Chain A
Amino acid sequence: DGGITQSPKYLFRKEGQNVTLSCEQNLNHDAMYWYRQDPGQGLRLIYYSQIVNDFQKGDIAEGYSVSREKKESFPLTVTSAQKNPTAFYLCASSTPLGRAGQPQHFGDGTRLSIL
């Protein structure tokens, strides 16, 4: 079955450490997204990518970095510059932008905590 796989499900970060969250999709979608979700709150966009080798900052990109070397993969690195990284991180994908009514498909998330 096609879908989005995020790993790991749980991740712990030490002070001053960078960590990378994996996101892989086999839906053949061009667009991919990373969101942050804090308890009791909605989704905030971190980064998005419309095509391989291209990505754009979202609303809260500071302290995060991404790459898009393959269509299927869109890893997110939480750097030591992100001072409050504890959150639930969601990856999503969708068919090409500009097509009306295309929903986003989500992975099951990675929960990041600070040790």
Chain B
Amino acid sequence: GDSVTQMEGPVTLSEEACLTINCTYTATGYPSLFWYVQYPGEGLQLLLKATKADDKGSNKGFEATYRKETTSFHLEKGSVQVSDSAVYFCALSTNTGGFKTIFGAGTRLFVKA
């Protein structure tokens, strides 16, 4: 079945360091891919998305490129801030069989000042 695998956390970085959180997926059909962010005590918020191969989603300095050949959607940011500390979830959705949104297990990011 469809699945999402993302790197285990926590990831701890110093402010202004580069961030990469790896995400790979397995899916039938042609999924749309998402990154969501969850701040402490809150629900998930959409960070960015890509709906077809080679699309790049971007928002708030974060980027991710839909790579069909490697079935990956890695999240990157060139310079993290303390305020980026949160849990990041990679997810996919497909139209196969109706609804499907599959979430990864989440990666916690800590950014130190």
Question: With A and B bound together, what is the CA distance between A50 and B101 in angstroms?
Answer: 13
Q: Which residues of chain B are within 8 angstroms of A82 by Cβ–Cβ distance?
A: none
A31-B49 contact given A42-B89, A100-B32, CB 8 Å threshold: no
| Size bracket, chain B contacts | 20 to 34
Nearest CB on B from A56, distance (A): 9
CB-CB contacts of A30-52 with B at 8 A, as 1s and 0s?
01010000001111000010100
The listed residue (A50, A101, A107) touching B32 by CB distance below 8 A is A101
**B106 adjacent to A42 (CB under 8 Å):** yes
The listed residue (A4, A6, A42, A50) touching B99 by CB distance below 8 A is A50
| Size bracket, chain A contacts | 20 to 34
Q: Which residues of chain A are within 8 angstroms of B95 by Cβ–Cβ distance?
A: 97-98, 100
Mark B residues whose CB is within 8 Å of A: 30, 32, 34, 36, 41-46, 49, 51, 89, 93, 95, 98-99, 101, 103-106, 108
